[in-house]
Amino acid sequence: MDKPEQKQIRFPARLTVLILAAVLVCAVLPVLPLRQPLHDTAGRAWRPLLRFRDRTAIALGSDTIGNVYLTKDRMIRKTEQYDDQLTDASVAAVNEFADQAGKPVYLLAAPTAAGIYADTLPEQAPRADERAMLQRAAAALGSRVSWIETYSRLSSVSDESIYFRTDSRWTAFGAFCAYKSAARKLGYTAAGFDQIEVTHYYSGYLGNFAQEIQYGGGFSPDLIDLYSVESAPELTRLVSVSEEGETELDGYFDPARAKQTGDPYDVYALAAEPVLRAETGRTAGKSILLLSDSCGASFLPLLFTHYRSLTAVNLEKAESGFWRETVMGADADYQQILILCSADFLADGRLAEALHQ
């Protein structure tokens, strides 16, 4: 019996070329050093290829790009599990710092969108339990450190815009919610939302997640709002301190600085500067030291109305030896020290590195 004739499937040449191109783009682009910010015109030449790569991956069923989940509403950091040793190192560093400081120390480890919106992640997606990690960290704090819990309040307003869609950080409203949560522990009466002056600064923000994965498709750009308390006194002095010296700043919110650096988030002085010193002109009141990652940038201006003077350190920009020498001298007169960072900054050990001498 003759064997049945086998038909060969032939792809049109054009389709074959497209398939090969897609495979090449998906294979090569992830290893290329494509780190230009999406705000930077130098990166525009790569955008069509990047979009093609990422849309191809998403079309094939992927819900992640790199270490970032793409959910219906936002980008979320992909964290499968926490390293308890790194978290413990951060907590130990906080306890050691508090023992050395000899002043009241408060720790606010801000939940991330991965914790608040964990139920929006793909059903089978591996995910670390952020809330359990934070509870474990709080339980390990020494007697000199007070824990400021913000998870409950942020969870209760999760339908609001408390985190950016394309960025790991909270919005100004998210920072405001944390400011309200911190009031009782820090001893101030928080302003109500009706006392907040809101400035819509920038509506085209593509945040650090979008920069990291070089993808913004499917998500509307974020809006950066600037919050300040209407009754806050005018700053009588605001100084940026770096290893090069001191520079007087005209104000905490500075669009010109953000335009110069190319990062809209640098409108906040603490996002762009390693150390800030601020005086409010109040003759009475406390002095506070804020040690923070970039989450503190939108939180700091809410404190201006409650303190006589404020010193703030961006732990992501200031070298430990420099900021300790600058702000922890014998003449430091802080009545309170607030350590504010994201849950990730605590969990991955970066807080320990920042606090160690």
In this structure, is residue 68 part of a structural domain?
A: no
State whether 144 and 278 are in the same domain.
yes
Q: HSE-up of 310 (CA within 13 Å, CB side)?
A: 26
- Tally the residues of the chain: 357
State whether 125 and 160 are in the same domain.
yes
State whether 187 and 329 are in the same domain.
yes
* Helical axes 13-28 vs 47-59, angle rounded to 10°: 100
State whether 113 and 256 are in the same domain.
yes
In this structure, is residue 193 part of a structural domain?
A: yes
DSSP characters over 109-172: EEPPHHHHTGGGS-TT-----HHHHHHHHHHT--TTEEE---HHHHHHTTTS--B-SSSSSB-H
pLDDT score recorded for residue 2: 55
Indicate the pairing of strand 307-314 with strand 237-242.
Answer: unpaired
State whether 119 and 208 are in the same domain.
yes
User: What would the pLDDT profile of 284-321 be if each residue is shown by its tens digit?
Assistant: 889 999 999 999 999 999 999 999 999 999 999 998 88
Q: Which residues contact 272 (CB under 8 A, 6 or more apart)?
A: 257, 258, 261, 263, 266
Percent of the chain with pLDDT over 90: 67
DSSP 190: P
Question: Domain range for residue 32?
Answer: 13-62
Compute the distance between CA of residue 87 and CA of residue 315 in angstroms, rounded to an integer: 17
Range 132-150 average pLDDT? 97
In this structure, is residue 1 part of a structural domain?
A: no
Q: Say whether pLDDT at 347 is over 90.
A: yes
Q: HSE-up of 199 (CA within 13 Å, CB side)?
A: 14
How big is the CA angle at 307 (ends 304 and 313), to the nearest 5 degrees?
Answer: 70
In this structure, is residue 213 part of a structural domain?
A: yes
Structure tokens belonging to residue 272:
């762009």
Structure tokens belonging to residue 47:
């955008």
Task: Give the chain's largest Cα–Cα span.
Answer: 106
pLDDT score recorded for residue 154: 97
State whether 103 and 35 are in the same domain.
no
Least confident of 69-78, 109-118, 186-195: 69-78
In this structure, is residue 227 part of a structural domain?
A: yes
Range 221-232 average pLDDT? 95
Confidence of residue 172 (pLDDT cuts 50, 70, 90): very high
Compute the distance between CA of residue 287 and CA of residue 279 in angstroms, rounded to an integer: 9
Q: Which residues contact 151 (CB under 8 A, 6 or more apart)?
A: 111, 115, 116, 131, 134
The phi, psi pair for 295, rounded to 5°, reads -60, -30
Strand partners for 336: 288
Q: HSE-up of 66 (CA within 13 Å, CB side)?
A: 17
Q: Judge contact between 332 and 296, C-beta under 8 A.
A: no
In this structure, is residue 313 part of a structural domain?
A: yes
User: What would the pLDDT profile of 240-287 be if each residue is shown by its tens digit?
Assistant: 999 999 999 999 999 999 999 999 999 999 999 999 999 998 888 899
Residue for token pair 């994201």: 342
Instruction: Classify 326 as helix, strand or coil.
Output: helix
Q: Say whether pLDDT at 36 is over 80.
A: no
Tally of structural domains, the chain = 2
**CB atoms < 10 A from the CB of 59, how many?**
9
Compute the distance between CA of residue 355 and CA of residue 348 in angstroms, rounded to an integer: 14
Range 151-165 average pLDDT? 96
State whether 49 and 144 are in the same domain.
no
State whether 113 and 56 are in the same domain.
no
State whether 20 and 110 are in the same domain.
no
In this structure, is residue 275 part of a structural domain?
A: yes
pLDDT score recorded for residue 35: 42
Compute the distance between CA of residue 323 and CA of residue 329 in angstroms, rounded to an integer: 10
State whether 47 and 85 are in the same domain.
no
Q: Which of 178, 176, 179, 175 is nearest to 167 (CA)?
A: 175
Q: Judge contact between 217 and 51, C-beta under 8 A.
A: yes
State whether 42 and 92 are in the same domain.
no
Average pLDDT, the chain: 87
In this structure, is residue 90 part of a structural domain?
A: yes
State whether 109 and 253 are in the same domain.
yes
